[in-house]
Structure 1
């Protein structure tokens, strides 16, 4: 048998009636060419399913035309409507692709080093991409559109609107049954929305290539505030750009009260982030100290107030170093030491450093989970000016033999280095938190939580150079909370003066949070707290000796806080006033 005869027999076996019929019905090429795409367009410009629909619908339509001639007209009308809709959509997408997709692909091909295997999808609903393609109308076009909207469109839309209302009514009637089927539905991706998707048939792209691709996409497709995600696991590289989700425009006392009850003692609620998710800070896990840097009027004092009222609500103390009086809400509150003069700030910082040192010394001889006492929050307002005032005060007040450096500045640095175990935390506020403003670059590194608003590029690079800088928001109360190089856009909760003072009180009106005690002021102190607050004029050791010896009218213990006895402020003050000085 010759080669020609063998080829002819092979061709006959390949194109048998059964095989050709199968190819016709399944939408495969009649030539039998393997590897055709069924779901996507192939070299023949039609996908397999499209060829299958055409091959099956044409004979069916012809048979129906012979059997039921009266139905042909309605079918042809429906086909014309569907074809017109698809043609109009294709025409619109053709303009869209010609304006955005095709030029972007032409720029990406040399950047990625690939001639084929690049697919780009741009959602037309992103930003104002589609409205940008609209051209201004002439007076004649406006008149035609006006006539169409007033006369033709109401008639055309009457039947579709009635059908849609009937469908909605049917859905409402069937809701008791359809709602039970929700358990069988798979959860939808909450982040699924308008996006730009790029797929490249290459296993890896270098960092420089990815940066170049991002630059090209951002330049050719004018959509702002996009979040970029790269996926390089597997045989293909996929990049996705989605619209950045924004936090709510306002957060108030209701959200603070709702979130406060479920937090631990070292956790603090700040506000709501993207997707209306609560944002919290941990002074045990994230950082013992908080840095706040923002321009004038950005809400620095509001953020500090929010943290302070939560400390007070849990029975802690707040020391405010504020020269200009930004925290009037705290005036007269129990547990607050408000220092407005350089001398008061100097003494308060020195005492706090001594307290932290004493707590750390005691902790060496206690169990690992030993509680040193109530948390102390130090709010240092406008450090750019406060440090200078403390330096000038010490230059005037220091005597012969005193150190040249201000003890208050040294005490602040000590608090930054040893505040975690002592539960003494610093919230430093400055318009620009330079190293000089905080006492040196090594002291500034103790701030693991950094909050920025209305920032400049220089300020961002100085404080959080490891995090990508997002665009600064003009929304009042909108902050970037940066922890571990990750920036979280947050709408900080705003409290009025009345709401702040109410939240700073114990959770139950008139009731202290320790040992279930109650008093008109809800104010109970241990001996150490009384000495630190200045209620008792003696040192802590002298106070314990006076109590043991029964000097004066010794107050009666009213409860316990850990292992320490609690006394009312009034009785302690009366004891100090009626006791002769040592």
Structure 2
């Protein structure tokens, strides 16, 4: 025979090189290609078995030892192959069939499913008999330690070498291009250039039904000649966050920035009341931690010298009792008076801002916390119905004041936190008022609550982890583990930060009625913030007080002159 495909030499070459003996194409050496095995694996079996047989015949002891090792390896590989086939039979094959049938694609659909996802592999496990349990226990106690001794020592040696060369290899990190870190995933490749939204929705439904893995994040890529879909496990924030993390971040933030907790990858989540929104809506079920979240923000306001107004009929903020800078209102008449008063202050600040330069500081920030707003609005309405005279307006002035704060809070540095289990438009004074809440936080939410408050954002699965919230800003939901603080930690955190020229806990210094400009601003002697007051002094204001001493590097001013300066500025 002289034909290269049918000659004895051609058969020997194909046998030794791992190619199919019939000479058919499509079979690759490194990957399976058209065959079930890659070429290198067929080559290893074809050359290894005769060599092992010959060695056994020439040197029986060595041959039997290698034969025993080969039997162990083949048994281990066979067991693994059987597990892979069962996994393919239970999950991949039925899913591919369900996808191909409606799409009309006989070929060109590839599906990859990581066995480590969820509990896919444990679901396939069958109960063990007592004999199997005993055998596995004996194997784990006597055989596995022997088999793992050499690989473990080799791995430890490799780790030692890596640690030794780390000072040199760390300098090469700058030249390394970061690769895509995907991790366990479900990946679907379809040889078609485009799929409609209905087809993608159908495929997503099939994947979620046939492969029982919960809380997956789905992404589609239709660029190119193939469509690729990927489902990965949603990454989660840390399970807890506390006082140490809060202290680590809050003093680094700007005056209008607030620390909420830790997000995915243990990254701090920062909320801006200047860039994002002046007002915050909090909606969550009972026990989700609404008051914990509110007191975290309140403590940061107090730490920076601001004021906090709490409308709390049920008494959830006992930490605030007796705290400087806090107006704790638990009765309807107290809530009514506080809202009317501060709406007037905010209105005055807005009027003053009209005559000031851009960026003028109206004074310390004021945070208004409205606990259980659904019930609070009703109590304010009932209170006004009891006390109003015939000449008084029918609408509660407190409810109107709350609406005014929502519409003019940014320039006046007034911020409202509205807390409710179901923050309906009626509870907040209408849909127009609710639109002022650019920052919305939800936990233990229902589908109805999510669609009502943030219909523009995709709804993630609600978590039962305590303190786990969804922060929604601009239609984007960010998962965050909110920091939990005890009452003692909140009170400690709320103490104003130390500054070189101020003693914020007192109205005057040890110099009698003399105080620094910062002390006058923080204690309300002058209506402007510290920076705004310094700008007024630099303008050579005729009514500005003259320094009468020094406290360290800071000038001292007479309190009476400061008050006259403040009254002239208001006029």
2:146 aligns with one of 159, 172, 187: 159
Aligned mates of 1:343, 1:558 — CA distance in 2: 44
Q: CA, structure 1 residues 487+148, in 2 after alignment: closer, same or farther (shift >3 Å)?
A: closer
Range moving further from structure 2, 179-188 or 391-400: 179-188
334, 340, 345: which is aligned to 1:344?
334
d(CA) in 1 for partners of 2:41, 2:544: 100
Secondary structure, aligned partner of 1:83? helix
The residue aligned with 2:236 is 246
Tell me which of 112, 133, 140 is aligned to 1:145. Answer: 133
**Structure 1: distance between partners of 2:108 and 2:317:** 61
Matched with 1:398 is 388
Contact 2:305 2:522 in 1 (8 A): no
Residue 309 to residue 225, structure 1, CA distance change in 2 (3 Å): same
State yes or no: 1:453 paired with 2:443.
Answer: yes
Task: Compute the displacement of 1:379 (Å).
Answer: 0.7
Gaps (5+ residues) in structure 1? Answer: 1-10, 534-546, 573-582
Aligned residue in 1 for 2:411 = 421
Give TM-score scaled by structure 2 length.
0.82
1:123 to 114, 136, 148: 114
User: What's the counterpart of residue 369 of structure 2?
Assistant: 379
Quickly say closer, same or farther: Cα 1:349–1:246, change in 2 above 3 A: same
CA shift, 1:192, in A, is 3.3
Query: CA shift at 1:208, angstroms?
Result: 1.5
SS in 2 for 1:526: helix
Please report how far the alpha carbon of residue 275 of structure 1 lies from its aligned counterpart in structure 2 after TM superposition: 2.8
User: Is 1:201–2:191 an aligned residue pair?
Assistant: yes
Q: Does 1:81 align with 2:72?
A: yes
8 Å contact kept, 1:517–1:558: no
TM-superposed deviation, 1:182: 4.3
User: Contact 2:547–2:557 at 8 Å: present in 1 too?
Assistant: no
Q: Is the 8 A contact 2:370 2:416 kept in 1?
A: yes
In the alignment, the residues of structure 1 paired with residue 383 and residue 466 of structure 2 have an alpha-carbon distance, to the nearest angstrom, of: 36
Q: Tell me the equivalent position of 1:368.
A: 358
1:221 to 203, 211, 230: 211
Q: Distance in 2 between matches of 1:221 and 1:473?
A: 21
Alignment of 1:167-566 (within 5 A): 167-171=154-158, 173-180=160-167, 181-184=169-172, 186=176, 192-508=182-498, 513=499, 516-518=501-503, 521=506, 524-526=519-521, 529-530=524-525
Asked if 1:109 is matched to 2:100, the reply is: yes
Q: Could you list the per-position Cα deviations for residues 10-47 of structure 1 after superposition, in whole angstroms to 9, with x for gaps in the alignment?
A: x9799999999998887666887776545432333333
**Distance between the aligned counterparts of 2:216 and 2:434, measured in 1?**
32
1:540 aligned partner: none
Equivalenced residues, count:
536
Task: Find 2:84's aligned residue among 93, 96, 105.
Answer: 93
> Contact 2:310 / 2:328 at 8 angstroms: preserved in 1?
yes
**In structure 1, what is the Cα distance between the partners aligned to 2:31 and 2:385?**
80
Q: Output the CA distance in 2 between the equivalents of 1:418 and 1:356.
A: 8
Q: Is the 8 A contact 1:527 1:566 kept in 2?
A: no
Comparing 337-346 with 95-104, greater Cα deviation is found at 337-346
Aligned residues of 1:526 and 1:565 also touching (Cα < 8 A) = no
* Structure 2 unaligned regions, length at least 5: 509-518, 529-541, 564-571
Give the superposition deviation at 1:149.
2.0
Report the Cα offset of residue 395 of structure 1. Answer: 2.5
- 1:310 deviation in Å? 0.7
Q: Counterpart in 1 of 2:566?
A: none
Larger mean CA deviation between 267-276 and 52-61 belongs to 52-61
CA gap 1:184/1:555 in 2 versus in 1, 3 angstroms: closer
**What per-residue deviation string (whole Å, max 9, x for no partner) do you get for residues 131-165 of structure 1?**
2112233xxx3135315523x54332242243244
Measure the CA separation in 2 of the matches of 1:447 and 1:503.
Answer: 26
Cα deviation for residue 331 of structure 1 reads 1.8
- The CA deviation string for residues 197-233 of structure 1, in whole angstroms up to 9 with x for no partner, is 1111122222221211111111111122222222222
- 1:307 deviates by 0.4
| Residues 69 and 528 of structure 1: CA distance in aligned 2, closer, same or farther (over 3 Å) | closer
Tell me the alpha carbon deviations over residues 280-318 of structure 1, each in whole angstroms, 9 at most, x when there is no partner.
211112211100111222211110000011111112111
Alpha-carbon distance between aligned partners in 2 of 1:26 and 1:372, rounded to the nearest angstrom:
84
2:521 touches 2:527 (CA, 8 Å); kept in 1?
no
Which sits farther off after the overlay, 329-338 or 302-311? 329-338
Distance 1:314 1:84, change over 3 A: same
Does the aligned pair in 2 maintain the 1:351–1:532 contact within 8 Å? no
TM-score by length of 1: 0.81
Q: Distance in 2 between matches of 1:398 and 1:281?
A: 40
In 2, are the aligned partners of 1:37 and 1:47 still within 8 Å (CA)? yes
Distance apart, 1:236 and its partner CA? 1.8
What is the alpha-carbon distance in structure 2 between the residues aligned to residue 27 and residue 273 of structure 1?
52
Q: Which moved more, 1:453-462 or 1:141-150?
A: 141-150
**How many angstroms apart in 1 are the aligned matches of 2:12 and 2:292?**
77
* Larger deviation, residues 107-116 vs 31-40: 31-40
Alpha-carbon separation, structure 2, partners of 1:491 and 1:113 = 45
Give the Cα–Cα distance (whole angstroms) in 2 for the partners of residues 15 and 284 of structure 1.
Answer: 82
Structure 1 residues 346, 73: CA separation in 2 closer, same or farther (over 3 Å shift)? same
